[in-house]
C-alpha cells in the first residue's frame, strides 16, 4: 500500500479504524468473558492513543508531501509570520510557533491536533459531570457505565461528540420510556444508548451539523 494511497484515503482509513475499535468495545460490553483481560480503562487509553497517533502520522505525512516539491518545501522551514491568520482564542500560544519551522508546526497543530484537544476537553468536562452525578445518584450507574460513555465520545471524535451528546441523551430517554412501558423496567443505564449512537455521530456528524449550519462554527 503506497503512501500516496494512504494519504489520499486517510479519512476513510480513520473511519475504518474507529469502526473496528467500536466493535471491540461492543464485544467487551456484550461478551466480556471473551476479552476479560482488557479493561475499559485500557480501551480508553487505546482510544486516546489512536487520536494522538493519527495526529503524529498526519503530521509526518504532511512533512513528506511538502518535502517532495521545491515550491512547498519552503513551508517546512518558514517562520509563522504576522500575516498568517491566528484564531483569537489561540493567541496565547503564538510564542510557541516563533521558531524557524513555526509555520509547519502551527499548521500541523491546527489541522491534526487541535480537534483532539477540543475533544479531550469536552470528554473531560462530561466525565466530571458523570462522576459527580454518580455520587449523588449511584442507582443510575452500573460498573463500567461511565467508561463506556467516555469510549463512545472518543469514538465519535470531533465534531462527532457534539452530535453524540444530544443523540445519546434522547436515545436514552426513548429507550427508558420503552423499557418502562413494554417491559416494566424502571431504570436502564445510559451507556448502551451512547454506544449505539457513537457510529452515527462518527459517520454522519458533518452532514448533520452542516444541515443545522453549525459545522463552520465547529470545524477545527
Instruction: State how far the Cα of 178 lies from the Cα of 173, in Å rounded to an integer.
Output: 9
Measure Cα distances from 213 to 79, 166, 198 in Å. Answer: 34, 16, 21
| Secondary structure class of 167 (helix, strand, coil) | helix
pLDDT tens digits, 142-190? 878 999 999 999 999 999 999 999 999 998 888 888 878 887 777 777 8
Assign 72 to helix, strand or coil: helix
d(CA 33, CA 71): 56
Q: What is the pLDDT of residues 66-85, one digit of tens each?
A: 898 888 898 898 888 777 77
Instruction: Give yes or no for a cis peptide into 159 (omega within 30° of 0).
Output: yes
In contact, 11 and 4? CB cutoff 8 Å: no
| pTM of the predicted protein model | 0.90
Give me the pLDDT at residue 1, please. Answer: 55
Amino acid at each position: 500500500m503506497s503512501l500516496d494511497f494512504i494519504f489520499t484515503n486517510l479519512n476513510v482509513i480513520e473511519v475504518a479504524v474507529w469502526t473496528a475499535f467500536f466493535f471491540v468495545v461492543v464485544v467487551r460490553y456484550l461478551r466480556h468473558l471473551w476479552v476479560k483481560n482488557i479493561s475499559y480503562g485500557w480501551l480508553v487509553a487505546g482510544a486516546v492513543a489512536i487520536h494522538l497517533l493519527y495526529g503524529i502520522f498526519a503530521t509526518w505525512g504532511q512533512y513528506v508531501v511538502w518535502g517532495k516539491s521545491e515550491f512547498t518545501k519552503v513551508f517546512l522551514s518558514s517562520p509563522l509570520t504576522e500575516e498568517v491568520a491566528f484564531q483569537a482564542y489561540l493567541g496565547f500560544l503564538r510564542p510557541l510557533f516563533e521558531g524557524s519551522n513555526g509555520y509547519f508546526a502551527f499548521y500541523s497543530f491546527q489541522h491534526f491536533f487541535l480537534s483532539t484537544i477540543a475533544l479531550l476537553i469536552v470528554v473531560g468536562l462530561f466525565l466530571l459531570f458523570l462522576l459527580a452525578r454518580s455520587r449523588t445518584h449511584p442507582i443510575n450507574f452500573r460498573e463500567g457505565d461511565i467508561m463506556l460513555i467516555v469510549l463512545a465520545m472518543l469514538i465519535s471524535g470531533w465534531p462527532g461528540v457534539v452530535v453524540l451528546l444530544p443523540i445519546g441523551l434522547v436515545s436514552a430517554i426513548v429507550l427508558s420510556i420503552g423499557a418502562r412501558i413494554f417491559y416494566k423496567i424502571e431504570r436502564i443505564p445510559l451507556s448502551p444508548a451512547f454506544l449505539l449512537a457513537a457510529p452515527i455521530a462518527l459517520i454522519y456528524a458533518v452532514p448533520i451539523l452542516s444541515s443545522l449550519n453549525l459545522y463552520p462554527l465547529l470545524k477545527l
